[in-house]
Structure formats: structure tokens, C-alpha cells
Homo-oligomer: A and B are copies of this chain.
Amino acid sequence: MIKVGVVGATGYTGLELLRLLVNHPQAEVLVVTSRTEKGKPVADIFPSLRGDIKLCFSDPQTSLLEDCDVVFFATPNATAMHQVPALLKGGLKIIDLSADFRLHDAQLWSRWYGQTHAAAELLDQAVYGLPELNRKKIAKARLVANPGCYPTAVILALIPILEAGVIDPQSIIADAKSGISGAGRKAELQNNFCETSETFKAYAVAGHRHLSEMCQTLNTLGKQTVSLTFVPHLVPMVRGIHATVYARLLKKKIDIQSLYEERYKDEPFIDVMPAGSHPDTRSVRGSNFCRLAAHIPDQGDILVILSVIDNLTKGAAGQAVQNMNIMFGLDEMAGLTFPPLSP
């Protein structure tokens, strides 16, 4: 059994990690830390885990993380970077679900996150944990930067066509919609039921932190600086991201459907749906799947890609477990085989 620690497990990402890990056939949760809830049984904070986990939250300062084989950071941004260096020296593997190690460029990171990076020397060795792009590197990595939820949905929509060079990299628009759990488990008025239910809105149109994360990967895929317009929106639902991605095709008569099916034919968690499909987010709820469908309306030159994931699973904790499986040479689907919850 792989011995697992989870740092900062009081958020929704942490809860989702625990849900997946207590059911994982080859992993065992050894330590769960939380500054705010230390000493309390995890199941007191998360009654859905009553019976599944007996641990109490321990103090991040004094917890025995070094006894673990791997530590997941489900902490707010700018937290993991302070603890990761020591743990890496201790020989542990790290999967960071925050944004601390996603950008290669420390200065770019500073601009978006408002402070100097505390472990910039590690940015080079951190592997961006999108298995569909970086599976081999992840297998050898000691530090994996788990991708953000929006980037996961958007990049998976774009990999086949950017790799194949069939779209204009200057024409990409990603209109993305997220459930409210993406905003985290926080006491904020804007997340109040009465502020988010029975309404819909865009936010951060002027610029969202995930934009730079997306561009970093898309630039590599497109072999040039791509132009991406990214507008996120809030949907009155708990889980799910739906990205509607638009791009201009460079030539007609491309068999887009085959392009996607071929690129993803060996991917265990990518489902290229039949031509004409409209994937809904509930079809992946609680699962690690990404479902994709490609459309060319009116046989014109605008390609529309629909991409759905569960933001807490493939967009966070599920992908993190997938990365753990790869890093430890397990079956990549271990602990992730259950079907989505629908309805």
C-alpha cells in the first residue's frame, strides 16, 4: 500500500481526494493536515466520510508527513512552495494541486500571484501533470504540478488540432463555464446560495490566472505564441466544467472526428463522443472522464469543440490520483473505475 499524506484537506478538492483515496485499492491515507481543524476527526467536518476514515486532522507543523510515500497539497496558492523543498529532500514524491509549480517562469508566476516564488529553483523539475501530454515525464517525476480545472478542459479540447496544425493559433476563444465548487469551500458572500443560484454570469473577463497556465502549454503545442481569449462563467450547479472552444480552421475537408478519435484512442479517461454529440457535465459527475465532441457548424470554417469534465475530479483530485498511479507504476485507472453519478 502506498502511504499517502494530504495537506490542507478541508477544501472541496481535499474532500474529493479523500473520497477517492479511501476507496483506492493500493493507497492508504496516513496523515491529513489542517491548520484550522487540527485535532478534530476528519469525519466531523465531512460527515459523508463517516465510517470511511478514522483519522483526525493533524497540525501541518508537527504531522508525520515524512512517513508517507507521497504527499498531496490541496492548499491555497502560495502555500505548498514553502513546504515542498524539505519534503522532496526527504525523498517523498509530491503532487501539488495548487498553482505553485504550474508555471515555468517565476516572474510570470509573481505577476499573477502577487509575491516572489519561494521555491523557484524547483520550477524546472516540476512536471505539468496532464497525463495525455506528459505521461512519460510524470512516471519519472518527483514533483508533479497538477493542472488547473479550466486548463484541463481547454487544453484537452485543443491538443489534437494544435498538434495537427489544422487551426489558426491566433483565433482561439475558450468560453468556459464552471460549477460553484470551483470557487472553493470558503465563507464568501459571493458564493452564498442566494448569490449564485438561479443566475448566471461571466467573471474575470479582464484576465484570469488560468490564462497564463493555458497559454504556456498551448504555445508549446502550437509552436508559436497563440492568441487565446478566455472568458469564464459561473453556473448554478456544484460540479462540472463545460468549455466551448472556438477556432478557425486553416483548410476545409479535414476529418476532424477521426483526428480526435485517433489522438485519444489509447487514453483511458478521454471519451471522444460520436459526431453531433452534446456532452453534458452530469455525464462525468464524480468521475475522471473528459468527454469531447467536435462540430463544424454549417460546414463553415469555425470549429467548435465541446469539452466537459468534473472540475473536482479530472479537474483536480481525480487527475491527481491518476498522476499518483502513473508515478508509482500502478494501473492508471486504479481507484478511478466507478461510473459517474447520474442523475
Chain A positions within 8 Å of B, measured between CB atoms, are 12, 15, 19, 22-23, 46-52, 173, 175, 177, 179-181, 185-189, 191-203, 205-207, 227, 229-231, 233, 235-240, 242, 244, 246, 271, 273, 276, 278-287, 289, 291, 295, 297-298, 300, 302, 304, 306, 308, 337-343
- Asked whether A194 and B341 contact (CB < 8 A) given A175-B244, A188-B187, A201-B278, the answer is no
A182 to B23: give the CA distance in the assembly, Å. 28
Instruction: Collect the chain B residues with CB atoms within 8 Å of residue A306's CB.
Output: 201-202, 205
In the complex, the answer to whether A51 meets B192 with C-beta atoms within 8 Å is: no
Known: A52-B339, A198-B238, A230-B297. 17 other contacts (CB 8 A): A15-B342, A23-B339, A173-B173, A173-B246, A185-B195, A186-B192, A188-B192, A192-B193, A193-B197, A194-B343, A198-B239, A199-B283, A201-B242, A201-B279, A229-B246, A233-B242, A236-B237
Instruction: Collect the chain B residues with CB atoms within 8 Å of residue A286's CB.
Output: 286, 341
In the complex, the answer to whether A242 meets B200 with C-beta atoms within 8 Å is: yes
Q: Which of B199, B227, B280 contacts A200 (CB 8 A)?
A: B280
Find the B residue at minimum CB distance from A197: B238
Instruction: Collect the chain B residues with CB atoms within 8 Å of residue A343's CB.
Output: 12, 15, 181, 185, 194-195, 198, 238-239
A104 to B26: give the CA distance in the assembly, Å. 47
18 A-B pairs whose Cβ atoms sit less than 8 Å apart in the complex? A47-B273, A48-B284, A175-B246, A180-B197, A187-B188, A191-B193, A193-B238, A194-B238, A198-B198, A199-B237, A199-B282, A199-B283, A199-B285, A205-B297, A229-B297, A233-B242, A236-B236, A338-B338
